[in-house]
Structure 1
């Protein structure tokens, strides 16, 4: 039985501070229940301490993912994008919580006492810096400038504890330094302990972080973006050149993409750089059932982004049949559309085949029901009994990072596209992207960017749907006004003849606009972006306690 993987999800509680009461700013609970002189003495101690980090891994389980973007219009409107988000009172439950940073810094202040070689120590330092870097990156994305604390704070460290916010760029330079240490000192996949971080996973984090930071610096005009874009490409290429990963395919373009996300075992899957694993009795989850009851829904805008099977957008392709009927809209489209959205014939659960897309029910808000990660297997539907694995880092993302970073750097050739975007298209049988043949979509979301970057962004949106990247992408591209698109909160087109296909009691309460598209939120016709939403507000209590802090603009 494969059991060492449990380090991903089962953590030994080796420190009593994990349940201690949290105070305000920087969460200054005591770590005195650990005696560094007695605990940090050998590799086992270091490993046990580092186990607690793994619950912070960014698992992509699809539930409510991208509800905070133009991809989705869930039944309950996202308060942040609706402009009704209220400033939290305390840091608890927000990215301003510094307790995890303090946990990392406590290790860094004490690990050197272990009587083992520096090379072994540095593995666990690498793990610590990997997670610290990820946490600080999340803070920067949420708040911009943040206090940067890289030492263990005692109760007497008042000057540090109530310090000012460090500029975004300086924090991110420190984040990159931490990640580089992790890349340099974590073992290779072949030499890493089962279930523990390796250098390829650190490179995956580096590629993700550096693409975000490089494009943020470019599109917000803060400068110095080239080094980060190059670092993103370099990290992606190291993973690609390792020969350890590839795009999962069995030669079935109409089902391979869908099946990738309902795998009982991702260990050994060529696309899994890192995965969250589940086994019966040992560890299960309830995500599959929740996905079928989420009242979630893709937006009309997201559905429109899928190309036709000739590789052209709907605005240019003669193959597009329009959306006046439920079948017409999905005909001649990128196969990933029907592998992400429940259409006629989809087996929702153990033979419960959909004859009509579900609208007017609690399972979906728009009629475009997400099915990514939704298995028809009854065993996975049973409450908290699913053993479907989830990705943490997926090779497809790395290929998309390489393509986008190279395009932003101006070094994206057809060879780059063939080794990245076209690998993804091969899985689903879509025509290759040929740079020389690209035509600008007249309905592009990004009319002012080159067509190559535009189409790479489209590919990213389609391939990574429901994986939780979209708001971060909108942020780094300085593209918040995409939220204003009315189609981002509309559903299927419900012409009278289409409405007549449904039982009257099911659709009688559905509101449509003048063009018959479902209005998910009848009280509004569009959301309104405010630039203050590029950053979240700092919790009120933190500003009260620390006079050196100022609230983010607009809040």
Structure 2
């Protein structure tokens, strides 16, 4: 079984996993350096600690996900900390600064390893039977760590812009004297670092030489490999070229982004034989390590078996369901009919101009199949899979308002929920693994499409270097087997293609943590993040049909929110930290 692209729980050997919950920078700092260097396990434990700082979002804001600060979803309960992003309470003293502390802790551990624990030979262990396999892994750690350091810098720069840069281990006093390095330089560093290590790091942990495989060991497939490095480079290049950071619209930055994403696609498709999976929902299924490895480049399996995502997001009205992150009408409107037409609700009436398959009495039938894989709609059956009843989200329905936690939008979330997790009191199937998708092939077809479109100037343009057009690349996720949406048509105007591209990206990557950052890097938040629409569904008088009306939830937006505020607590420690504009 080739489990070559998924991150599993603790990422290292079982001996390390057993103690990784206790491992952090401070414990290593308190240990004598000679103790850490005693054996492979002590050094490897530090690597495990760094991996544990990788992103996930299965409800980071007391159940709310970052998508509920966007037009993807609305959290069903008021007073949640996710509201900080749009209710006017966001400030340097309420800075939502988890990324700052997590990433700089990870960077500190990376620098600690690279400064103190590279080049060891462990001579006292040379006679051990596993010496060669362990040294093989150890010698690759430095490239994994260099990737992880670049990864943390990417998360910082997309969030704060200019940030302090440290490439060696510093004392706390030294670190509190640093000023902010320009975002351009941080992006350049990330891309350069990825170029430096891409041909040094192990290509595939599931296909190691026989003489470096530990006895009775399953492949350590959750580690960073060459494809992961190329993915970080490609994403960083796209962000660097985007309007938030590329204020002069420098075409060379778009060219670099197109080249980097093409490099990733060429490597994954032509050399690794990867492809878009036919079962879109398998990307986040509990068995994705078996069923979606053709598309998944890298993901992080969060915690051990759990049902947190399900208990937050299963519909209210079924046992154990709490409503949670409810998809918006904005998102639902992005899903076209199966023959490629927009669906809109106008003055209470569903409209799909030109569609041959749309029935306004059944507004969720004959829609892009990804809609039903991602979102639970009114009159849904078989969700969760053990539920024998029908989900009714209309006003007064079994799963609608005014129940506490009843959906404010008319919809519930499916994506990332494992539908066979049964939260009923008599169930024995109450948990499963959940893998957060860090990088997958579908994203990079879309990244390439955006970069080539901006560089060559039209959706159909190609040249000797970029032989696949933006239109062709953006159609890949639509045309995948199992989805079967029509390709974007030839000769679209630039404005029409750009709007269609953004909609496709919203649909394909829904709830994977992209929307919050995409709209910011495009500098289009005033268009998308102010009016958040939900659907109010009511039974008609004869009780056989429904009436529909749009409910608009207006949120605050200020352009200073394109970047996060530098936490005031950090500025008090370090007077050299300037604040982002407007904060």
Return the TM-score normalized by structure 2.
0.76
- 1:420 Cα deviation from its structure 2 partner: 5.8
Q: Which moved more, 1:213-222 or 1:142-151?
A: 213-222
Cα deviation for residue 156 of structure 1 reads 5.7
* Alpha-carbon distance in structure 2 between the residues aligned to 1:400 and 1:484: 22
CA displacement at 1:114 relative to structure 2: 0.5
2:90 matched residue in structure 1: 85
Q: 2:100 aligns with which of 91, 95, 99?
A: 95
Q: Is the 8 A contact 1:407 1:452 kept in 2?
A: no
- Give the Cα separation in 2 of the matches to 1:337 and 1:105: 44
How far did 1:484 drift? 4.9
Q: Counterpart of 1:405?
A: 451
CA deviation vs aligned residue, 1:26-60 (integer Å, no higher than 9, x gap): xxxx8542433453366555433211122122346
- Alignment correspondent of 2:68: 67
Q: Are residue 460 (structure 1) and residue 505 (structure 2) matched?
A: yes
Alpha-carbon distance between aligned partners in 2 of 1:41 and 1:421, rounded to the nearest angstrom: 53
Question: Displacement, 1:322?
Answer: 8.7
Mapped pair 1:264 → 2:287 = yes
Deviation at 1:80, TM superposition (A): 0.8
Report the CA distance shift for 1:372/1:153 in structure 2 as closer, same or farther (over 3 A).
same
Q: Identify the residue that residue 170 of structure 2 maps to in structure 1.
A: 153
Larger mean CA deviation between 208-217 and 364-373 belongs to: 208-217
The residue aligned with 2:30 is: 33
Q: Within 5 Å, give how 1:264-413 maps onto structure 2.
A: 264-267=287-290, 269=292, 270-277=294-301, 283-292=305-314, 293-314=322-343, 317-319=353-355, 327-343=361-377, 344-349=379-384, 350-357=386-393, 358-360=399-401, 361=403, 362-379=405-422, 385-410=431-456
Task: Tell me, in whole angstroms, the C-alpha distance in 2 between the residues paired with 1:284 and 1:264.
Answer: 14
Whole-angstrom distance in 1 between the partners of 2:149 and 2:542: 52
- How do residues 126-145 of structure 1 correspond to structure 2 at under 5 angstroms? 126-145=143-162
Map 1:167-178 → 2, pairs under 5 A: 167-178=182-193
Query: Residue 437 of structure 2: SS of its match in structure 1?
Result: strand
Q: Are 2:239 and 1:212 equivalent residues in the alignment?
A: yes
Paired residue secondary structure (1:67): helix
Q: Distance in 2 between matches of 1:311 and 1:146?
A: 43
Aligned residue pairs, count: 508
Match of residue 200, structure 1, among 204, 227, 242: 227
User: SS in structure 2 opposite 1:58?
Assistant: coil
Contact 2:448 2:473 in 1 (8 A): no
Contact 2:382 2:389 in 1 (8 A): yes
For the 8 Å contact 2:241–2:257, the answer to whether it is kept is yes
Describe the SS at the equivalent of 1:471: helix
CA distance in 2 between counterparts of 1:340 and 1:473 reads 19
SS in 2 for 1:494: strand
Deviations 1:153-176 (A, max 9, x none): 02563xx53121111111121122
When normalised by structure 1's length, the TM-score is 0.80
Answer with 490-499 or 239-248: which moved more: 490-499
CA distance in 2, matches of 1:498, 1:105: 68
* Aligned partners of 1:422 and 1:432 also within 8 Å: no
Structure 1 residue 481: Cα displacement: 1.0
Residue deviations 1:448-489 (CA, integer Å, cap 9, x gap): x54333322221110111111101100111111124552x2x
Cα 1:430–1:110 change in 2 (3 A) is same
Shift of 1:546: 2.0
Q: Deviations over 1:124-144 (max 9, x none)?
A: 111111111111111112211
Partner of 2:266: 237
Which has the larger displacement, 205-214 or 139-148?
Answer: 205-214
Separation of aligned partners in 1, 2:418 and 2:95: 39
Q: Quick one: distance in 1 between partners of 2:22 and 2:285?
A: 37
Q: Which stretch shows the higher mean deviation, 164-173 or 31-40?
A: 31-40
What is the aligned partner in structure 1 of residue 44 from structure 2?
47
Kept in 1: contact 2:299–2:435 (CA 8 A):
yes
* Alpha-carbon offset, residue 61 of structure 1: 4.5
Shift of 1:494: 3.1
Q: Does 1:477 align with 2:522?
A: yes
CA change 1:183–1:435 in 2 (3 A) is farther
User: 2 CA distance for matches of 1:317 and 1:260?
Assistant: 32
Would the alpha carbon gap of residues 4 and 164 (structure 1) be closer, same or farther in structure 2, given more than 3 Å must change?
closer
Does 2:559 correspond to 1:518? no
1 CA distance for matches of 2:311 and 2:290? 23
SS in 2 for 1:73: strand
CA gap of 1:133–1:380, structure 2 versus 1, over 3 A, is farther
> How many Å separate the matches in 2 of 1:393 and 1:420?
17
The corresponding residue for 1:111 is 117
Cα deviations across residues 382-422 of structure 1 (Å, max 9, x unaligned)? 69622354433222222222222222222556666546633
Whether the 8 Å CA contact 1:310–1:317 is kept in 2: the answer is no
* Deviation string, structure 1 residues 500-530 (Cα, Å, up to 9, x no partner): 6799xxxxxxxx9xx83235x5xxxx22321
1:445 match: none
Q: For 1:354 and 1:266, how far apart are their aligned partners in 2?
A: 31
Structure 1 CA distance for aligned equivalents of residues 158 and 541 of structure 2: 43
Change (3 A) 1:236 1:41: farther
| SS in structure 1 at match of 2:540 | helix
Contact 2:24–2:46, Cα closer than 8 Å, also in 1: no
- After superposition, the Cα gap between the structure-2 partners of 1:42 and 1:113, relative to the gap in structure 1 and judged at 3 Å, is farther
Structure with greater strand share of residues: 2
1:25 matched to which residue of 2?
none
Tell me the secondary structure at the aligned position of residue 287 of structure 2: coil
Corresponding residue of 1:432: 486
User: Is the Cα–Cα contact under 8 Å of residues 233 and 406 in structure 1 kept in the other structure?
Assistant: no
Deviation at 1:145, TM superposition (A): 0.8
Q: Any conservation in 2 of the 1:493–1:518 contact (CA below 8 Å)?
A: yes
Structure 1 unaligned segments of length 5 or more: list them: 21-29, 250-255, 441-448, 504-511
Please list the CA deviations of residues 265-297 of structure 1 after superposition, one character each: whole Å capped at 9, or x if unmatched.
Answer: 524632222244589xx7445323322124221
